[in-house]
Homo-oligomer: A and B are copies of this chain.
Amino acid sequence: MILAQRAQPAPDELAAFLDEYLRRGDCLVQVVSECEVLYSGRAASVAEAGDYLVIVKQDGSVQVHGHRSVKPVNWQPHTDDLFVGVEDGVAVMRAERFNPEEMVRVAFLAPAMVQAFELRESGGFALMGSEAEMQRALARHPELIEPGLEVLHRELPTDVGGIDLFARDTDGALVVVELKRSKANQEAVHQLGRYVESVRRLGSERVRGILAAPAVTAPALNQLGTLGLEFREVSALPLDDAGDAQPSLFAPA
């Protein structure tokens, strides 16, 4: 799994190592070093000399990690070209891409370690509790929102975006349902408001708006009241009912 490693490589040694293993395109390379980092593209940034962990993956993505936080200090999602060289006695890597046009340049001022790994393509990954899943579950069990609710459409397109769930209640009124997998805020309320307005413009039927989420912020709840809309508490991670043959994450094997 570990292909190669050098401790405290000289600049030309580091450059050669990077060149060799990045060119292969089938491994992950990382460098621990004091670095200077320049970025220019959608924005521009400079990171003065400091210790960083630099990771270059097979897809050419580059990330420069500092001592804290999940998010890298500098990064590039995917690069079209990688250049490695020695400038003024310092190993330098430049990662470029074209769309959008941007560039990250890392100068390895004092490399402590460089390594190349082979990470085999990994296996299955399953995520539970996405909004898409929540939408499927509620389309199947609309009574979790309101007894007697009948779902007419999912992702119904309007001129201002797609309506998550479009339904009819037992009184015959149309119901626009906006889903959020986590606590809903004012943005979600306005989104719902837009959809309701849009549907009302189309016809003369009575139209209700329901925000379905596990929770709602106080200002958002206020706003709902002002706009004559409703909130319904719905969990994003529903207990799977016996009728469904869905595997449970924590079910015993």
Contacts and interface: CB of A to CB of B under 8 A. Distances in A.
A37 to B, nearest CB: 9
Contacts of A42: 129, 182
Given A2-B7, A57-B69, A48 B125 contact: yes
A213 B85 CA distance: 37
A49 to B, nearest CB: 6
A245 interface: no
Contacts of A113: 1-2, 115, 117
A181 B186 CA distance: 22
A124 B59 contact: no
Number of copies: 2
Contact of A46 (B47, B69, B125): B125
A45 B133 CA distance: 13
B125 A45 contact: yes
A36 to B, nearest CB: 9
A192 B73 CA distance: 31
A112 B1 contact: yes
A215 to B, nearest CB: 11
Nearest to A236: B43
A158 to B, nearest CB: 11
Interface string A182-204: 10001000110010000000000
Contacts of A59: 68-69
Nearest to A30: B53
Interface residues of A, number: 68
A72 B57 CA distance: 12
A30 B67 CA distance: 12
A32 interface: yes
A70 B66 contact: no
A49 B126 contact: no
Interface string A115-153: 101111111111111100000000000000000000000
A121 B69 CA distance: 12
A68 B57 contact: yes
Given A2-B7, A7-B2, A113-B2, A51 B119 contact: yes
A53 B186 contact: no
Interface of A: 1-2, 7, 28, 30, 32, 34, 38, 40, 42-53, 55, 57-59, 61, 63, 65-70, 72-73, 75-77, 112-113, 115, 117-130, 160-161, 181-182, 186, 190-191, 194, 223, 236-237, 249-250
Q: Which 6 A-B pairs have the closest CB atoms?
A: A50-B122, A43-B129, A1-B112, A67-B119, A48-B123, A51-B119
